[in-house]
Structures are given as C-alpha cells and as structure tokens.
C-alpha cells in the first residue's frame, strides 16, 4: 500500500509539474504575443513617423519654394519701384530744365520789351528833332526810314518771341500732363 501511495504521490507530483510546465508555457506564449504586439506597434509607429517625416520634408520644400518666389517677387517690385522713381526724377529734372528755359525766355522777352521801349523813346526824340529841324528834312526822312526799319525788325522779333513763348507754353503743358499721367500711374501701382 505504501508503494501505491508513493506511486500516487509521484503521479500527482508529475501532474503538478506538468501543470506548472503548461502554465509556464502559457505565460511564455502570452509574453511572446505581447512582444509580438509591441513589435508590430513599434513597426506601425516607425512607418507613421517616416510618413510624417516625408510629409514634413515636402512641406518644408514647398515652404522654401514659396519663400523663394516671394523674395523674387519682392525684388522685382523693388526694382520696378526704383525704375519708376528714376523715371519720375528724370521727369522732374526735365520740368525744372524747362522752367529754367522759360524763365530765360521771359528775361529775354523783358529785355526785348526794354529795347522796344528805348526804340520808342528814340522815335519820340527823332520826331522832336524833325519839328525843330525843317532844313534837314531829307536827312530826317532817312533816319525815319531807318527807325521804321528797326521798328519792323523789333516787331518781327517780338512776334518771333511771342511764337516761341506759345510753343514753349504748349510744351510745358504737355510735360505737365505727361507728369500728371505718370504720377497717376505710379499711385495706381
């Protein structure tokens, strides 16, 4: 009986060990599944990170391209503004030159007016001499013809000056209109 008892104890012990082995196997399987799940999750995370990294690289490249385009556009705009400023400065200089020329012509016109005034005074003086000197009629007539000739030349000079003044005033008006148009265009930009 003791032998049977020992045999039963041994079988029970073997079964217990077998159960422990099965339990250990189950635990190991569970751990293996957990490790496998973690590995799979890690791979998914790595793929997601790589995808995000590629997307970020694309976004950075797109951002860099847009930034370059904006810089080029800004440079072009600055060059255009400088070009318009130079053009406006040239127009301003042209207008100043025309104003100086007009001032010069006005001074010349005043000088010619003074010359004409002097000539008129001369005529008055000659007329007085005619009244006083009846004896030198031929000489006075000749002087009168000379004075008339000078008067004609002076009149022609006045006419010419007035025509030149008209032309210059028209030119000045055209330049003012052109400058106004340029300023309007510049303001529109």
State yes or no: pLDDT of 163 exceeds 80: yes
Residues 132, 41: Cα–Cα separation, whole Å = 134
Using one digit for the tens of pLDDT, what is the confidence trace for 26-77?
666 667 676 676 778 878 877 887 888 888 888 888 888 888 888 888 888 8
- Burial tier of 112 (Cβ tally within 10 Å: 0-12, 13-18, 19+): middle
Q: Is 133 left (phi over 0), alpha (psi -120 to 50) or beta?
A: beta
Using one digit for the tens of pLDDT, what is the confidence trace for 76-131?
888 888 888 898 899 889 889 989 988 888 898 888 888 888 888 887 886 686 57
Q: Could you tell me the residue ranges of all domains in the chain?
A: 2-188
Q: Is 135 helix (H, G, I), strand (E, B) or coil?
A: coil
State yes or no: pLDDT of 136 exceeds 60: no
State yes or no: pLDDT of 132 exceeds 80: no
For residue 182, the surrounding DSSP H or E stretch is helix 137-188
Residues 107, 122: Cα–Cα separation, whole Å = 22
Q: Locate tokens 């301003």: which residue?
A: 92
User: In the chain, what percentage of residues exceed pLDDT 70?
Assistant: 80
Handedness of CA 72, 77, 80, 86 (dihedral sign): negative
Q: Is 104 helix (H, G, I), strand (E, B) or coil?
A: helix
Residues 90, 29: Cα–Cα separation, whole Å = 90
Nearest residue to 184 via CA among 88, 79, 92? 88
Q: Locate tokens 């004609």: which residue?
A: 152
Write down the pLDDT at residue 7. 72
Residues 151, 126: Cα–Cα separation, whole Å = 13
């Amino acid at each position: 009986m003791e032998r049977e008892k020992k045999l039963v104890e041994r079988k029970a012990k073997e079964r217990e060990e077998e159960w422990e082995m099965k339990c250990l196997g189950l635990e190991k399987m569970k751990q293996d599944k957990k490790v496998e799940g973690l590995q799979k999750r890690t791979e998914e995370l790595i793929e997601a990170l790589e995808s995000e990294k590629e997307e970020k690289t694309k976004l950075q490249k797109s951002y860099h391209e847009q930034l370059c385009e904006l810089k080029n556009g800004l440079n072009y705009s600055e060059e255009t503004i400088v070009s318009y400023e130079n053009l406006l400065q040239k127009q301003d200089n042209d207008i100043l030159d025309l104003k100086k020329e007009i001032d010069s012509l006005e001074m010349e016109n005043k000088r010619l007016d003074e010359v004409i005034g002097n000539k008129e005074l001369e005529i008055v003086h000659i007329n007085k001499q005619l009244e006083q000197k009846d004896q030198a009629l031929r000489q006075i007539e000749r002087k009168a013809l000379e004075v008339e000739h000078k008067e004609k030349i002076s009149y022609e000079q006045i006419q010419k000056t007035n025509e030149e003044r008209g032309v210059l005033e028209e030119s000045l008006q055209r330049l003012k209109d052109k400058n106004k148009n340029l300023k309007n265009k510049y303001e529109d930009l």
